[in-house]
Structures are given as C-alpha cells and as structure tokens.
Amino acid sequence: MRRETLEDNLTQLRAMLDETGPLVASAFRDASEALLWDRPRLAEQVVSRDPVIDGHRDAIELLAVETMNIHQPMVTPLRSVITALRCAQQLERMGDLARHIAATVVRNGDRVVLAEQARPLFRDYGARVAAMGDKAVEVLRTHNVVLAAELRDDDDVVDALHRQVFELMFGPDWTAGVPAAVDAALLARFHERYADHCVHLADHVVYAVTGGTVDELPAL
C-alpha cells in the first residue's frame, strides 16, 4: 500500500467538497419546495438528512487537518487546504439553514405555514436563493470566478426581496396575523442568510484561486 501524496489528498478534498455541495443545494431546494407546497414529509426528509451534511463537514475537516499535519504543504497548496476547511464550514451552515426552513414546516404539522398573501413573494425568493445555491456549488466545482462575481448582484436582488417581505407584513394589507408574520420573518431570514453564505462560499473559492477578493478582479 503506497502512502498518499499531498496531491492525492488535495484531489480527495476537492472530491469531498464536490460531493457535499449538491447535497446542500438539494436540501435547500427541497426545503423551499416543502414550504411552498405544504409538504411536511419532504420537510422531514430534509431535517433527517442534515446529519449527513454535518458528517461530510467533519470528514473534510479531518482530512484537511491530516493533510496539513502530514505533508506540511507550502503556500499555494496550504491555501487550498484552508479553503477546503472554510468551504466545508460554509456548506454546513447552509445545510443548517435549509434544515431550519424544513423544521418550521415540520413543526407546523398539517397547518399551513406560509400565509397565502406571502406565497407569491416566497416563490420568487425561494427560486432565486435556490439558484444562488446552485451557482455557488458550481463555483466550488469549477472555480469559475465570473460566476462568483455574479453572486454579488444576485444577492442584491435577494436583499430587495427580503425587504419586500417585511414591507408586506408591516403594511396595512397584512391580514394573516401575528403567528404567520413571525413565521414569515424567520423564514425570510433563513433565506437571506443562506444567500449570504452562497456569496461567502464563492468568496473563499476566489481567494483560493486568485489570492485576492472578488472586488479585486479586473472588470469584465
């Protein structure tokens, strides 16, 4: 049995991240689907699958630490290892946010979670945030820095939708009452945080590729 080289470990780290990314992106899609179409069973699945994502994070962390410990990589590969660590952390938090959305649906059982008035907004909100998740996972897989830069603009759109949810709830037309408003506020926050983490995830990748930030990239 040959000893694993630094190159082997770096390849394995990337493979593990590539495997984790889509799990997280699907968790969000399913959570959003469960919310929009009142599917508590689907929500339960998201909740019960979250420990798998946590397990991936732990495995990546362990391998990253072993890699640093055994191979003492120099600057560039070390940056890749640190990036893997940070990306695993971001993915785990994104998974948690998908779980929070799903858990809100589960907790409400057969009661409808999302007020009728809030549905059109959340359909748009959920679709855009899910697309950001897919894009962030794509950045992770392909190291495409152009897509990474796009995520900044996507996030501005999402922030605007976030404000619209609050304007709706605080406006005179909100008739769904306090509990529905509280659920919508928490759900909106989970969406917004997930989108933020998509941006952070892509930022870590850009740092690994260029050693700089998205803002330092030359204009396209």
**Beta carbons within 10 angstroms of residue 110's beta carbon:** 6
> How many chain residues interact with a copy of itself (CB under 8 A)?
23
**For residue 74, which phi and psi values (nearest 5 degrees)?**
-80, 180
Nearest approach in angstroms of CB 118 to a copy of itself is 12
Q: Is residue 178 at the binding interface for a copy of itself, with CB under 8 A as the rule?
A: yes
- According to the binding rule CB under 8 A, does residue 112 interact with a copy of itself? no
117 contributes a contact to a copy of itself by CB under 8 A: no
**CA-closest candidate to residue 151, choices 94, 77, 99:** 94
Note whether 72 binds a copy of itself by CB under 8 A: yes
Minimum separation from the CB atom of position 45 to a copy of itself (A): 23
CB of 102 vs a copy of itself, minimal distance in Å? 16
**146 sits near a copy of itself (criterion: CB under 8 A):** no
- When computed from its CA atoms, the radius of gyration of the chain, rounded to whole angstroms, is 19
Is residue 179 a contact residue for a copy of itself (CB under 8 A)? Answer: yes
- Residue from 11, 15, 55, 65 in contact with a copy of itself (CB under 8 A): 65
Residue 217 touching a copy of itself (CB under 8 A): no
Minimal distance, residue 2 CB to a copy of itself, in Å: 20
| Among residues 49, 174, 207, 210, the one that binds a copy of itself under rule CB under 8 A | 174
Q: Does 78 bind a copy of itself (CB under 8 A)?
A: yes
Q: Phi/psi class of residue 143: alpha, beta or left (left: φ > 0; alpha: ψ in -120 to 50)?
A: left
Judged by CB under 8 A, which stretch of 38-46, 120-128, 171-179, 209-217 contacts a copy of itself? 171-179
Pick 40 or 73: Cβ nearer a copy of itself: 73
First to last CA, the chain: 48
Establish if 89 lies at the interface with a copy of itself (CB under 8 A).
Answer: yes
Q: Which is nearer to a copy of itself, 130 or 184 (CB)?
A: 184
169 binds a copy of itself (CB under 8 A): yes
